[in-house]
Amino acid sequence: MAEERLQKYLAGAGIASRRKAEALISAGRVRVNQRTVTELGTKVDPGRDLVTVDGALVSQPDQRSYYLLYKPSGCVTTASDPQGRPTAMEYLRGVPGRPFPVGRLDYDAEGALLLTDDGELANRLAHPRYGHQRVYLVKVKGDPPAEALERMKAGVRLEDGPARAIEAAVHDHADRNVWIRVVVGEGRFHLVKRLCEAVGLQVQRLFRPEFGGIGVGGLRPGKFRRLQPEEVRALRQRVGLESGTPARGPSVRELPKAARRHGHGPPAAPGAAPAPAEPGSPDEVEPRGRGAPRAGARPAAPRPGGRASRPSRPSRPSRPGGAGGRRR
């Protein structure tokens, strides 16, 4: 078989994205034929060389897996978190393959997150040079001035360099806030929020309605689905991995809306124990149906025949002066 770069081989095997595979190599966690390799330009022959990561043998999967998750707000997109916060991977616990998130979505952002073990596709979707555009709906406080949206498109200077939005326009009006549509061509850290703040807009909520032309319509936060073969083909066509014209993604009018929020924090992942309620919080109160006792209420003793009897009143002491207690 033809040789290929080690990081590309690892990404193709679904170990991680190509960028993260490079970090694994540089950290000395990858061995080729029992020899630790740290040089990124190393090439391997998949049919001849034995590659291991942290001692586990790497092999190409027989079948790729592709999933779309409605990532809820309040979870991270990494495989693990040192702070113990919920991760997006917990919602896909038990699925076949070794899918990993494509790119990132902020901790407090929600919406479309693609997970796959197709490393080459993940690399092309995440890397800015392939021109993959990301669409966001941003709920901002008040009515944004047209000048602010124009400044966002013209470009602003951020701490890590200049940045601009490809598109920035009013999308929908809420009661006291406005949803704007922002399209960017890179996945820089907190990019959309920083663009908004740079032009004086206060972000209330950040939602990604689609990724790669595939929307989260029909999914609730924390739920996912496997991509259809035609959706996978369209994704690969968008980034030049397959020939042909990709299917059109959702239009502006067809973009799904963010789900209504219920309660506090992200929904529990399948098989996860519910987080303990804070003392005195509303989560501590159990649901009560009609006729059910209130929390902490003293149970009444049952009457004969099934009804609860009233507690008897204590007898009052008689007053001096005879029966009836009336003084003469």
Q: Which residues are catalytic?
A: 106
Helix, strand or coil, per DSSP, at residue 263? coil
**Tokens coding 193:** 């929020």
Which residues, at least 6 apart from 88, have a Cβ–Cβ distance to it below 8 Å?
69, 71, 75, 76, 77, 101, 105, 113, 115
**Tokens coding 303:** 């009457």
Nearest to 269 by CA among 69, 90, 109: 90
Helix, strand or coil, per DSSP, at residue 196? helix
Residues 135 and 207: beta-carbon distance below 8 Å = no
Tell whether the torsion through CA atoms of 137, 141, 143 and 148 is positive or negative: negative
Q: Alpha carbon of 243 to those of 132, 219, 233, 236, 304: distances in Å?
A: 17, 30, 9, 8, 81
Neighbours of 24 (CB within 10 A): 17
Helix, strand or coil, per DSSP, at residue 320? coil
State how far Cα 320 lies from the chain centre. Answer: 79
